[in-house]
Amino acid sequence: MKVAIQGIKGSFHHIVAEEYFGKNINLVECMSFGEMPNLLLNKKAEVIVMAIENSIAGAILPNYALIDDHNLTICGEYYLPIHHNLMALDGQKMEDIKEVYSHPMALLQCHKFFNDFPNIKLIEDTDTAAVAKRIQDNKLPGVAAIASTLAAEIYDLQIIAPEIQTIKENSTRFFILTNTESKKSVSADKASIKFTVSHETGSLAQVLTILAKHNLNLSKIQSMPVIETPWKYAFFADLIFDNYADYYHAIKEVKEKTEALKVLGEYSKSKR
């Protein structure tokens, strides 16, 4: 299977791809989320692994837009505990480090650690593992990366400070995406939807009441601006249910109370 990931080998997306699909996969490496949907369209990848939210940094809003704009289908999810490690060339010590490069989300999740090192310059980069590889390829002294233990292993770097994330219970949720139409499955116990409602008082409350009436657990709701209409918002919601029939009837009723409703995917929920 050809699996597209953001980043290169050793990235957290790489770890998710192998834990979800197994090690017998062909990785398609991407340096940005934006290029991933076209890989499906051009049949260069069969499936995408895409981070969607982090327990510290919150939702990755542009990725919701990518999923919606390209009509991608959510066919699964995966929660990965995130362990950030500071790594550099063998023999380097903390006092030697002058610059740290990593993905903006990784830097955000580790900001408190660097409060004790005001002389270290933090620099945003495209990928955690790519920085680790560059340090080794170019033998860069005084430069460190924030990345996974797998990246340190692959690119032969020394971990000089393990587990530097601000909150130790740090986790990222990933979507498994395709561009094929979602197949209805009564085995599904989770769904992601997008809907818009009118500006009338209580319109959103009506939707939430319907979901509760049919025993659906609203595990997440995220608003996003409707670009074409200033000050209008769409809602992305995750629904968990024990009975597919409850979900089916709820969606049917919600359609009548919304201006637009789109099912982004029906799938099996992953353990957190």
Residue type, 48: I
- Considering the domain architecture, whether residues 111 and 74 belong to the same structural domain is answered as no
Which range marks the domain in which residue 49 is found?
2-79+171-178
DSSP H stretches of helix in the chain: 12-21, 36-41, 61-69, 104-109, 128-138, 149-154, 203-213, 244-255
**Residue range 121-130: mean pLDDT, rounded:** 96
166 occurs within a structural domain:
no
* DSSP secondary structure code for residue 103 in this structure: -
**Residue range 208-227: mean pLDDT, rounded:** 95
Interatomic CA distance for residues 13 and 4, integer angstroms: 9
- Considering the domain architecture, whether residues 63 and 123 belong to the same structural domain is answered as no
Interatomic CA distance for residues 67 and 172, integer angstroms: 17
Q: Does the structure show a pLDDT above 90 at 258?
A: yes
Q: Provide the CATH number for the domain around residue 208.
A: 3.30.70.260
Interatomic CA distance for residues 5 and 29, integer angstroms: 5
Q: Provide the CATH number for the domain around residue 98.
A: 3.40.190.10
Q: Strands 143-147 and 85-88, how do they pair?
A: antiparallel
Closest of 181, 191, 88, 186 to residue 141, by C-alpha:
88
Q: What digits encode the pLDDT tens for the residues 57-109? A: 889 999 999 999 999 999 999 999 999 999 999 999 999 999 999 999 999 99
- Considering the domain architecture, whether residues 68 and 96 belong to the same structural domain is answered as no
Predicted pLDDT at 183: 64
- Considering the domain architecture, whether residues 31 and 62 belong to the same structural domain is answered as yes
Confidence of residue 180 (pLDDT cuts 50, 70, 90): confident
Predicted pLDDT at 216: 97
Interatomic CA distance for residues 2 and 121, integer angstroms: 37
Closest of 204, 215, 203, 271 to residue 247, by C-alpha:
215
Please count the structural domains in the chain: 3
**Looking at the whole model, is its pTM more than 0.85?**
yes
185 occurs within a structural domain:
no
